[in-house]
Structure 1
């Protein structure tokens, strides 16, 4: 592990990114060029102390999951992401179809969708990035530990979790959501049978969820497309939102955007959610 080179690379990458580029408010009396250390740590889902030690060339060796989170937080290109892995002595991911690295351009699109919920997920349900509106709608999933950000796992193992599990949907639609989750996962596994993530998730859910096992036995296949979804938010109430699914075939990733029809009651409630943001909202996950 090249600690001094890693520290210098992290510092330089942090200094070139402005707060507005990642959806943060600059605030007054800002002296630090680029992002602050604690802001990078927040974006990467790690403690500020851990990140500070990395920049001071005295931190522990980051895991592959942590390197992926750092690459995303610092908006690294694919080449820069690979270099980051090499500095730590890790082989970078070679199969782009299973990569969890979100392209900087896609993250910039996400950051600019300030008034509508949007998030980037893998085709098998791993949440890679969210904007503030998505976090306000379904909970801040990216703040969880890296291994606990899959919406399919949450749906079948954490029934009170708002990140895509039953608690946030009307009760009469829960069964349909469950069917779609399983049917989509079966399609993904058939398309990429050697991908370790989807295969491990299926094996895990077959062993812990009788509901998942029964739906898997039904052998339904369906890829998620654009649709209309209804949400029951604990603060602003019920909303009917158009769900647009934009696919990135190279990275097996999806940009999910939820919008409300102009002039509708749902649009008013979505605007209220934007004003409230994450303040005064009870934790939901």
Structure 2
């Protein structure tokens, strides 16, 4: 039997208690009898029930899925070593080098929390959405990862076509599609040994002739910044700068939309930001 401190429940309690609500972008309210995050706060961040967090900590549940472990690791802002320890405590094999990872380094996670006033999202190397701010969700009328895990920009672009209906890249869709595939090609150099990644590429190639055509051209390059017009059903068209930032020593890509401090586009973003805050507040009541 593992010692209490190295058990799954023990690790969760230790890591939960070292975080403050402000560290994860939550307001601190009411009398706090214990240090760190409350169980309900961790549950909210990880997208699981409070009862499930309690059962994990008490040892009544010992086999969470890899998806749940990844969500808990992000919520607890664990580094790679701690994340690997959490996987092992759950009886799972930790993601290794050469495998598509959804791990967000703690410093980057804190940065995302502090940049909640921007439409910002983090994507894995295969362009699977890992996390997004509420303003991102409001701007793109998209659910959170908690509500809809597995959202993937490649699929949305080449298979179901939702991206074309939501946003128009300046310079045309051809350049945007080529940039996405070239970035994915660049990732393939390091992820070619990941069976799930290879299966993902094969599936999209089979479902999208356009993707297959671009993939077979073999171009590889990092994704570049651009300008896009987002078509929103409430505020209308919003034109924003779109920048893709890479995280050193990580597969994570940050996509952030910005505009000048004043002007019609800034006013529309502010309207959506306030609406997102009100929606969150109403949901907590």
Among 44, 47, 66, the residue aligned to 2:46: 44
1:131 is aligned to 133
1:100 is aligned to 102
CA RMSD of aligned residues (A): 2.7
Mapped to 2, the partners of 1:199 and 1:109 lie a distance apart of 31
Distance change in 2, residues 1:29/1:232 (3 Å): farther
Q: Deviations over 1:70-125 (max 9, x none)?
A: 11111112221121122122232231774321111000111101321112212320
2:212 is aligned to 213
1:167 is aligned to 165
Q: Is 1:142 aligned to 2:145, yes or no?
A: yes
Alignment of 1:245-264 (within 5 A): 245-264=244-263
Mapped to 2, the partners of 1:34 and 1:51 lie a distance apart of 15
Distance change in 2, residues 1:59/1:157 (3 Å): farther
Q: Is 1:236 aligned to 2:238, yes or no?
A: no
Distance change in 2, residues 1:18/1:122 (3 Å): same
Aligned pairs, how many? 276
What TM-score do the two structures reach when normalised by structure 1?
0.84
2:156 aligned counterpart, secondary structure? helix
Mapped to 2, the partners of 1:204 and 1:2 lie a distance apart of 41
Check whether the contact 2:169–2:226 (CA below 8 A) recurs between aligned residues. Answer: no
1:187 is aligned to 186
Check whether the contact 1:97–1:251 (CA below 8 A) recurs between aligned residues. Answer: no
Check whether the contact 1:100–1:128 (CA below 8 A) recurs between aligned residues. Answer: yes
Check whether the contact 1:114–1:131 (CA below 8 A) recurs between aligned residues. Answer: yes
Give the stretch that moved more between structures: 127-136 or 88-97.
88-97
Mapped to 2, the partners of 1:29 and 1:64 lie a distance apart of 34
1:7 aligned counterpart, secondary structure? helix
Cα deviation, residue 222, structure 1 = 3.7
Cα deviation, residue 49, structure 1 = 3.2
Check whether the contact 1:120–1:255 (CA below 8 A) recurs between aligned residues. Answer: yes
1:118 is aligned to 120
1:170 aligned counterpart, secondary structure? strand
Listed as ranges, the gaps of 5+ residues in structure 1 are none
Cα deviation, residue 259, structure 1 = 0.8
Listed as ranges, the gaps of 5+ residues in structure 2 are 281-285
1:242 aligned counterpart, secondary structure? strand
Mapped to 2, the partners of 1:273 and 1:243 lie a distance apart of 17
1:240 aligned counterpart, secondary structure? strand
2:58 is aligned to 56
What TM-score do the two structures reach when normalised by structure 2?
0.84
